[in-house]
Amino acid sequence: MSSSAAAFDARRWRPPPLVRSARLRWLIGLGFALYLAVALGTLEINWLRVWEGLDRGWAFILAFSEPDFLTRWRDIRQGLLESLTMTVVSTVVGIALSVPVALGAARNLAPLPVYLLCRGLIALSRSFQEVIIAIFFVAMFGFGPLAGVLTLSFATIGFLAKLLAEDIEDIERDQAEAVRATGASWPQWLVYGIQPQVMPRLIGLSLYRFDINFRESAVVGIVGAGGIGATLNTAFDRYEYDTAAAILILIIGIVMAAEYTSSLIRARIQ
């Protein structure tokens, strides 16, 4: 009968809580509940207006139930092709730019100044939404797909370089060390010690970014950066909801097809 065994009560045992102090635990819970109540209180909901909106929404959906692919088919086709081209070009350019940035942004590869520079570039790219970057590039280079391609390439860096850099930082160190021990040069070390370890992730992220870039190409078109978004915007401006519906259906179809294909490929390379 030791004293520690006496202090332990098998029936009262519970796993230690996330927040140790009971007072702090209650304080956090109460604070959260209070905030929620106050936040809900500040919402001014006009239920009459919501009711009317439901009605209008239904009319909208009805208008969309008869998509018209034919009347503006030439415009739609051109917009889609432009969007696909923008997607392919911006994804390829984006990857080509992201890989060196990712190498520089991996703390286990790059010296501190290079690391800070590359991390800064990534932060810059991530801090702006695509539409804002698109507005900026449209202002610089005028309407059209060039602004869109630049936007999407720049946005790709923020996404791909960041996630790739994190994967590089997570590599198995001893594999890379073994390659260094053979007398490999730095580029050889990258190709044998690092690249095989991050390749599945790079391919997966690139395919995923391809999807995103296609979707975003439709959005940036609305602010004049070319692609199917521009066609969609025109259709809305002309109150041609049936054409707009057709465009939306095509975008959804292509995004789903791309996502399905990329998930198949990603599953195979693991």
Catalog residues that contact other proteins under the rule CB under 8 A. Answer: 172, 174-175, 177-185, 187-188, 191-193, 196-197, 199-200
Is residue 243 within 8 Å of residue 71, measured between CB atoms? yes
Min separation Cβ 140 and other proteins, Å: 38
Give whichever of 205 and 219 is closer to other proteins, judged by the CB atom: 205
Give whichever of 252 and 269 is closer to other proteins, judged by the CB atom: 269
Min separation Cβ 185 and other proteins, Å: 6
| Residue 249, C-beta contacts closer than 8 angstroms, at least 6 positions apart | 67
Give whichever of 88 and 203 is closer to other proteins, judged by the CB atom: 203
Give whichever of 52 and 177 is closer to other proteins, judged by the CB atom: 177
Min separation Cβ 196 and other proteins, Å: 4
Give whichever of 67 and 200 is closer to other proteins, judged by the CB atom: 200
Min separation Cβ 180 and other proteins, Å: 6
Min separation Cβ 176 and other proteins, Å: 8
Min separation Cβ 171 and other proteins, Å: 10
Give whichever of 113 and 183 is closer to other proteins, judged by the CB atom: 183
Written as one string, the DSSP assignment of 120-189 is: HHHHHHHHS-HHHHHHHHHHHH-SSHHHHHHHHHHHHIIIIIHHHHHHHHTS-HHHHHHHHHTT--HHHH
Q: What is the b/e burial string over 213-248, where b = at least 16 CB atoms within 10 angstroms of the residue's CB?
A: bbbbbbbbbebbbbbbbbbbbbbeeeebbbbbbbbb
Residue with tokens 């088919």: 73
Min separation Cβ 200 and other proteins, Å: 8
How many whole angstroms separate alpha carbon 229 and alpha carbon 234?
A: 9
How many whole angstroms separate alpha carbon 115 and alpha carbon 118?
A: 5
Give whichever of 129 and 188 is closer to other proteins, judged by the CB atom: 188
Two structure tokens written together for 185: 């040069």
* CA geometry: angle 139, 228, 82, nearest 5 deg: 85
How many whole angstroms separate alpha carbon 126 and alpha carbon 31?
A: 32
